Amino acid sequence: MPAARKSPTMTTNHTHSRSPSSGPPLIQCRRLTKTYKKGDNTITPLQELDLDVPAGDFLALMGPSGSGKTTLLNLIAGIDRPSGGQLIIGGTDIATLSRSKLADWRSTHVGYVFQLYNLVPVLTAYENVELPLLLHRMSARERHEKVQTALQLVGIADRHDHYPRQLSGGQEQRVAIARAIVTDPTIIVGDEPTGDLDQESAAAIMDLMVRLCEDLGKTLIIVTHDAKSAAYAKRTLHLEKGRLIEAADLAARRSNFVPQEA
């Protein structure tokens, strides 16, 4: 298998990986709120959330089930739309974009990695990775080079003609990551990307995520239940009932927790 290497066709964002003090953060959530109405009931999965994510950050989001992690990720990825507040990414408040402008924005700026890979079963690894490029105008040759580069980067080029059912879970997730990075997005989000993998495959996927951050300067946000996976990130934030918990509060809660003697 060829060693994955930094590609000349993937731009690095190092020039933007400056300290937060030298410019505005890449992602700014301001009083970000999401509500769903169900009959007379209103559910508020996110409540006036403030969050800054500098370019080049690698953020892990943790929290109990139903705490709003997927909701936050989907808002930042432009898959879902806020009910209130601002969501400024790269200087644009994406909450104000029309549906079609948001779709364009998403296909240029965001790569999404899912827990269950979400590969198209009737397409080969190569064809799955090629899919997002079909939304962009480019020559067949350029498209081919981008797909090859992405497959090499995740170390799976030798499996390009395999179908998803012929791959292990870890290999499927590599293909899914290749698909997420093939358009050279600024931001990569992952919703429990290691949630369905054994420990060894999970560690390999997290190593790959670290390389996307450190070598290519990508900004990563992943949701995880697994402290081992979170440890690969530069920082971890905890959500509870739609709000971020301050680290000091979390530490206080942990120190108040006294395990029962057997």
Ligand X SMILES: Nc1ncnc2c1ncn2[C@@H]1O[C@H](COP(=O)(O)OP(=O)(O)O)[C@@H](O)[C@H]1O
Q: Given the rule CB under 6 A, which residues bind ligand X?
A: 36, 43, 45, 63, 65-71
Nearest distance in Å: CB 69, ligand X = 3
List of residues 6+ apart from 244 with CB closer than 8 A: 49, 50, 51, 237, 238
CA 255 to chain centre: 31
List of residues 6+ apart from 106 with CB closer than 8 A: 77, 78, 79
Q: Which is nearer to ligand X, 43 or 231 (CB)?
A: 43
Applying the rule CB under 5 A, the residues between 53 and 112 that interact with Mg ion are 70
Q: Which is nearer to ligand X, 143 or 225 (CB)?
A: 225
Residue 57: burial class (beta carbons within 10 Å; 0-12, 13-18, 19+): buried
Q: Which is nearer to Mg ion, 45 or 164 (CB)?
A: 45
What number of chain residues touch Mg ion (CB under 5 A)? 1
Nearest distance in Å: CB 150, ligand X = 27
Q: Which is nearer to Mg ion, 66 or 169 (CB)?
A: 66
Position closest to Mg ion via CB: 70
User: How many whole angstroms separate alpha carbon 24 and alpha carbon 178?
Assistant: 29
- Total Cβ atoms within 10 A of residue 163: 16
* From the list ligand X, Mg ion, none, partner contacted by residue 68 (C-beta under 5 to 8 A by kind): ligand X
Place of tokens 């530069």: 234
User: How many whole angstroms separate alpha carbon 232 and alpha carbon 229?
Assistant: 6
Nearest distance in Å: CB 83, ligand X = 12
Residue 13: burial class (beta carbons within 10 Å; 0-12, 13-18, 19+): middle
Q: Which is nearer to ligand X, 4 or 239 (CB)?
A: 239
List of residues 6+ apart from 101 with CB closer than 8 A: none
* From the list Mg ion, ligand X, none, partner contacted by residue 43 (C-beta under 5 to 8 A by kind): ligand X
Nearest distance in Å: CB 109, ligand X = 21
Between helices 169-181 and 199-214, what is the axis angle to 10°? 20
* From the list ligand X, Mg ion, none, partner contacted by residue 56 (C-beta under 5 to 8 A by kind): none
Q: Which is nearer to ligand X, 174 or 238 (CB)?
A: 238
CA 50 to chain centre: 19
User: How many whole angstroms separate alpha carbon 138 and alpha carbon 158?
Assistant: 25
Could you give the string, one character per residue 141-180, with x where binding to Mg ion holds by CB under 5 A and - elsewhere?
----------------------------------------
Q: Which is nearer to ligand X, 205 or 239 (CB)?
A: 239
Nearest distance in Å: CB 67, ligand X = 4
* From the list Mg ion, ligand X, none, partner contacted by residue 65 (C-beta under 5 to 8 A by kind): ligand X
Q: Contact residues for Mg ion (CB under 5 A)? A: 70
